[in-house]
Every structure is written in C-alpha cells, then in structure tokens.
C-alpha cells in the first residue's frame, strides 16, 4: 500500500481529489440557504375566482402588561392566533469595563530611526557587460606617416593619420583623418623599423583612446594587387649610408695592421721571438697601432650612424590591434582609461573590487565604532559604581537618640497591693 502511495501518479490523483473536495465544500458554504418546504397552492373561491392572500390585520386593542397578547392573521375564513408572552424587564446587571473587554485600537508600526546604516557594497560576483559599439581584435587599420622616422633616433615620435574609414557590423568605428601617435620600439631590423606597443588615437574633437597594437608593412602594387611582403612585421624604409666605403676602409686598416706587424725584425729568445729595438721596428709598430685605432673607430661609427633605416613621410602601413577596439571609451585627455590601454570590462571590474573594499572598510569601521562605544559605556558604568561605593563609605551613620528618648526608662514596676475589707 505504501509503495503505491509513493508513486507520483497516485500522489497527484490524491492531491487533485483533496483540492476538488475542498473546492466543493467552499462552493457549498457560499450558497444562500434555501427555504424549506414547498410553496402553498393558491386557493380559489366557489365561483372560481382566486381567494385573497392572507394579510396581517392589526387590532386596535388595549391590554394590560400582565394579560396575554393575541394577534389575528388572515381574514374571516382562516384565523390563526398565537400567544406572545409579556416581556419581562431584564435584571439589573453590573457592567464593568476592563482593559480586556475594551476594543483594542490598532497600533501603528514603530517609526524607523532617523539614522539608518545601509551597507550597499555589492556582494555578488562581477559579471562583465558586452560593449554596445566595438570592433574585435585583429582588425587592420590603414595609416600613413606624417613625419619621417629614422632608426638612428628612436626618440622621434611616430605620427600618422588613418587614411580609410574603419567599419564593423555596419557601424563606423574609426573615421578617416583620426590621428595616431606611437613610438618606435627596438630600432631597425634589416630595412624596417619596429613599432609596437601602445597606439593613441585622437579624434577631431580632442577625445583620446589608447589600444595595444603592432605596425605591419603595407605595400600595394600599381595593378591593384599586393606585394609578397604585405603584412609582414615592421614598417619598410630605405637603408641610408653616410660613408659607402666604410667597410672597405675597415678591411684596409686591418690588413695594413697585419702587414706592419709581420715586417718587424725579430730575434730568438728563451721566451720566443721578440722585436728588435731599432728605428725600423718603431715605425712599423706605430703604424700598426694607428691602423688598429682607425679600424675600431670606423666600426663604431658604422654601428651608430653610418648605416641606418629611414622611413619617409607618407609611407603607408597597417595597425594590427591586439585588444578590442571600443570607441565609446574615448574621452578628453584619456581620463576614462587613465592614458593606458585598458578595456571597459577591466575598468568595471576594478570599480567593483573598489566598491567591495569600500563596503568592507565601512563595515569594519562601524564594528570598530560600536566596540569603542561599548567600551566607553562599560568604563562609564564602572566609574559610576566606584563613585557610589565611595559615597557609601564616606557617609556617616544615620542612628539618632530619638528612639532612646521616646522609650520609657527601665526600672522596677510598682506592684499594687490588694486591700482587704472586713465585715462588722
């Protein structure tokens, strides 16, 4: 039996039955009570006309309070009398009103205190929201240099302009003419300059937006196609040499140094060959040192500025974005981002964490204030108790001699001697 009752179908049927019985009982309780008995049939007279309905006829009659009262119902054909007992005055009762018999007035809820501390710190986990206007990572933004950049001076800023509108999902993300500011990273690589890191976009109205990206080569041929190196890393430039024969000079100086060292006169010693101390060897030794110094100087210059890459103004390149592009994050002076390539969800997460920290600090501060207040109350109560004890010790006794004065003095009680009477 119990196994059948545990089945879901049986339990659902029992629930429906209970609900149906309850509904029927509620429906019956709301119906008006029906009048018992059947309605009497209408009576007719001998000539076939309907008899008049019985009516209540009032009798003008004066009776005493102790007599029985009668009433006549109907006409002459049907008379029904009933006896109404006289009303007796109710006995006098003592009416006492107590708090329990009086009707209680509805009490209003107590008002809230004037100062209510509400902790509004968000305890729910952070859920990032999707930006309304954006472009995903990896879009290619076509730009062109405004000023020439040389690899010999990496402090020269990279200033460019966006040359084509950038759309995503039929929405304009970056309009043409937007300024782009960047900085060369690691100097030259072969015939290119590497530009990667933070790219700062500046709109016509002065709003700024920063994003991380990498500069790629852009080379479009005259027939509308693209070169093989299109999209490769770095911005292509031209290698500039201040001294085209610098390498030849270095080789000649090194060769001259070796010839001079080998033409010196030497003699055999126990430590090996040693140059002879004569004028010829002195001249050859000085020339060898001069050739070595010249070769070192040319090599150092060749590393610094004798050979560098120059990217002329007007050179086109791609900006490959490494972050989600959110143009709505642009603001004057980049205040929203703090001049850093930060996404909107990162700012929201930081704000959420700060709100949590502020809420915890507020709760902690309230707890500390409550503890300090409790400690102050305890100190006040202790000081009050100590003051009461000091007053009790310093107060003199209240014993007075009034009671001793009113009490009778202790002494012997007089005894009344009986008198004897003698009869004559």
| Residue 112, in any domain of the structure | no
φ and ψ at residue 289, rounded to 5 degrees: -65, -35
- Structural domain span for residue 332: 140-237+312-342
Instruction: Report the candidate in 319, 363, 322, 369 with the shortest Cα–Cα distance to residue 343.
Output: 322
Q: Is 318 in the same domain as 260?
A: no
| Residue 73, in any domain of the structure | no
Whole-angstrom Cα distance, residue 336 to residue 64? 104
| Residue 405, in any domain of the structure | no
CATH number, domain at 178?
2.40.128
Any bridge partners for residue 320, and if so which? 140, 214
Instruction: Report the candidate in 65, 220, 215 with the shortest Cα–Cα distance to residue 149.
Output: 215
Q: Is 250 in the same domain as 285?
A: yes
What's the predicted TM-score (pTM) here?
A: 0.48
Q: Is 330 in the same domain as 198?
A: yes
Whole-angstrom Cα distance, residue 287 to residue 265? 15
| Residue 415, in any domain of the structure | no
What is the number of structural domains in the chain? Answer: 3
Q: Is 263 in the same domain as 362?
A: no
Q: Is 216 in the same domain as 359?
A: no
Give the pLDDT confidence of 318-338 residue by residue, as tens digits: 999 999 999 999 999 989 888
The secondary structure of residue 152, as a DSSP letter, is T
**End-to-end CA distance of the chain, in Å?**
121
Q: Is 179 in the same domain as 318?
A: yes
| Residue 56, in any domain of the structure | no
Helix (H) or strand (E) holding 181: strand 179-189
Compute the radius of gyration of the chain from its Cα atoms: 59
| Residue 113, in any domain of the structure | no
Whole-angstrom Cα distance, residue 294 to residue 286? 12
Q: Spell out where 221-276 has E strands.
A: 235-236, 238-241, 266-269, 272-275
Burial, 406: exposed, middle or buried (Cβ in 10 Å; 0-12, 13-18, 19+)? Answer: exposed
DSSP-derived 3-state class of residue 317:
strand
The residues near 359 (Cβ < 8 Å, ≥ 6 apart) are 119, 120, 121, 122, 123
Q: Is 224 in the same domain as 151?
A: yes
Q: Is 176 in the same domain as 232?
A: yes
Q: Is 278 in the same domain as 250?
A: yes
Q: Is 146 in the same domain as 229?
A: yes
Structure tokens at 190: 């072969």
Give the pLDDT confidence of 111-132 residue by residue, as tens digits: 655 555 555 555 678 787 888 8
| Residue 360, in any domain of the structure | yes
Question: What is the predicted pLDDT for the residue at 78?
Answer: 46
Q: Is 149 in the same domain as 294?
A: no
- pLDDT tens series, the chain, 424 aa: 677 677 788 888 888 888 888 888 888 877 765 544 445 555 666 666 666 655 544 445 555 555 555 544 444 444 444 455 555 666 655 444 444 445 556 667 666 555 555 555 556 787 878 888 999 999 999 999 999 998 877 777 899 999 999 999 999 999 999 999 998 877 677 888 999 999 999 999 999 999 999 999 998 888 888 888 898 989 998 888 766 666 777 787 888 888 888 888 787 787 887 877 888 878 888 888 888 887 888 777 766 666 788 899 999 999 999 999 999 999 999 898 888 888 888 888 888 788 877 776 776 777 788 888 888 888 888 888 888 888 888 876 554 444 444 444 444 444 444 444 444 3
CB atoms within 10 A of CB 161: 14
């Amino acid at each position: 039996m119990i196994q059948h009752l545990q089945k879901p179908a049986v339990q659902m049927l029992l629930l429906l039955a209970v609900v149906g019985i309850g509904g029927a009982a509620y429906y019956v309780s709301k119906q008006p009570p029906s009048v018992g008995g059947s309605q009497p049939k209408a009576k007719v007279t001998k000539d076939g006309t309907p008899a008049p309905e019985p009516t209540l006829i009032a009798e003008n009659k004066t009776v005493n309070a102790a007599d029985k009262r009668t009433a006549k119902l109907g006409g002459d054909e049907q008379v029904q009398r009933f006896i109404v007992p006289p009303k007796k005055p109710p006995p006098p009762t003592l009416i006492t009103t107590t708090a329990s018999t009086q009707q209680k007035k509805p009490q209003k809820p107590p008002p809230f205190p004037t100062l209510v501390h509400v902790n509004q710190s968000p305890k729910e986990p952070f859920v990032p929201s999707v930006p309304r206007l954006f472009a995903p990572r990896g879009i290619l933004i076509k730009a062109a240099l405004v000023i020439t950049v040389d690899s010999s001076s990496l402090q020269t800023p990279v200033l460019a302009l966006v040359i084509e509108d950038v759309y995503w999902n039929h929405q304009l993300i970056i309009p043409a003419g937007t300024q782009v500011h960047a900085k060369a990273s690691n100097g030259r690589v072969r015939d290119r300059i590497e530009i990667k890191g933070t790219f700062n976009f500046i709109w016509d109205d002065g709003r700024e937006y920063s994003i991380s990206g990498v500069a790629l080569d852009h080379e479009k041929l005259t027939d509308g196609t693209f070169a093989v190196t299109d999209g490769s890393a770095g911005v292509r430039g031209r290698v500039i040499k201040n001294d085209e024969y610098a390498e030849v000079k270095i080789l000649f100086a090194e060769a001259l140094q070796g010839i001079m060292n080998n033409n010196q006169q030497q003699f055999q010693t126990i430590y090996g060959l040693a140059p002879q101390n004569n004028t010829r060897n002195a001249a050859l030794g000085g020339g060898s040192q001069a050739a070595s110094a010249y070769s070192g100087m040319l090599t150092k210059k060749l590393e610094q500025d004798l050979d560098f890459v120059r990217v002329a103004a007007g050179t086109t390149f791609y900006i490959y974005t490494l972050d989600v592009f959110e143009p709505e994050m642009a603001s004057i002076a980049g205040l929203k981002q703090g001049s850093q390539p930060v996404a909107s969800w990162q700012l929201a997460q930081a704000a959420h964490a700060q709100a949590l920290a502020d809420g915890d600090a507020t709760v902690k501060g309230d707890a500390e204030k409550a503890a300090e207040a409790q400690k102050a109350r305890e100190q006040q109560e202790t000081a009050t108790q100590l003051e009461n004890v000091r007053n009790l010790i310093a107060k003199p006794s209240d014993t007075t001699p009034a009671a001793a004065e009113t009490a009778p003095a202790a002494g012997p009680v007089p005894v009344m001697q009986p008198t004897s009477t003698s009869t004559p």
